[in-house]
Structure 1
Amino acid sequence: MKSSAPYRTGQRLPLEGGAQLRLSVNPRARRISIRIDARAGEAVAVAPSERRLSDAVTFARSKADWIAERLSARPSGTALVPGAVIPFRGGTAVLEATGGAGSARLVVGADGFRIVSGGEGEAFARRVVNLLKRLARETLTERTQVHLTTLGQAPVTLGINDPTSRWGSCSPMSRSIRYSWRVVMAPPAVLDYLAAHEVAHLVHADHSPAYWSVVHRLVGDHRPFRAWLRQHSGDLHAVGR
């Protein structure tokens, strides 16, 4: 039987002012909310069920001016080219070309971080991203294991990808955790919080007070870390665009 709901998850609608709205259902959501997907250049209306998507659309339309303002203020893309400066570990890293076809590598000096790489054009950018992914995997593997040990949890399967809307996800049934490689550009404490956030879902799959008490046990007050990700999400997603 087809759903009688007028809207469906994944549907896109135009808003007044030219903005685009994508509809999304998250059964774990407690209320209707609107977020800005800086990578896709659109707003996302989140509802706890498909039946509530009509309310989400109404709410989004009432916020059309705010959505347009947020989208217009999102950072422009940062190309991965020699001379570019990108966020890295809470600071910045300068990209440098070395000539030849060597892989990208991280150089730590008195003047900060540098990422030096061979290749030209897309090949240069690809080598830089591959390095960032490798560094993300190394660091997130380490911090995930620390939190698993603290909670007495068995090992998990860890993956690194580039999602558009989540920094991480956890599947307790399959004991797998996936992270966005872009979090390696955030301060180490924020990356550590993300690892704790996902590991805590092995204990509680929801975002109940019991769940947040587990997160607090691992990293203390989580609110500054969540606020940092909200504030700088656009900057991290702009890298390489």
Structure 2
Amino acid sequence: MDTLLNNLDLFVGGFKTTLFLFVVSAFFALIIGSVVGAMRVSPVPVMRAVGTVYVNLIRNTPLTLLMFFFAFGYPKLDLGNVSYPTLAIFGLSIYTATYVAEVVRSGFNTVPKGQAEAARAIGLPFSQTMSLVIMPQAFRAVIPPMMSVFIALLKNTTIAAGFSVAEAGAIRANLSERGEPALVVLLWVALFFVILVALLSLLQRYLENRWRVLR
């Protein structure tokens, strides 16, 4: 307990950064992934091809390698000065979006084809068919796998610690310099991650119960 109380500033600061990375990355990953998922089921061959290439290329690239590019390769492009936390958000969002896209695509497949055919029959274009008919039903069907993706994103934020981002994954290294026992520090960090994952699981259960009633 002394390890926690004596270094509360680092624990609070580290997990605040972790939650910031998680929330912002989840937001952008959900937007990008939804668009790419829609492209994957688009009737336009070019859109399907672009969505497929994006998912297969990024998903099969290790996240650490992607973070290396944003941390060390992006500054070489001279596109402007961007902070390391922002670059970490870029990497996490782009990587997680591929998994969101596949989850969303699987949700689209659970919606009966007659729903899309009926929408087209009344004159709705593809964009409105997706946004008004397909997506609302698809998202209700993919709550469990989507929350699993976000739980994985929460844990993936620790990779940013290796790229000068002072989040929860960097707490152990910082406290080692203060002479704190590494094992105790890691146990506290693990405990807080368990609590955060448990909260996400409760949110998942709440959304499942709420949207099950709506259906």
> Structure 1-normalised TM-score?
0.25
> Structure 2-normalised TM-score?
0.27
Structure ranking higher in strand proportion: 1
Structure ranking higher in helix proportion: 2
Higher relative contact order (CA 8 A, sep 6+): 2
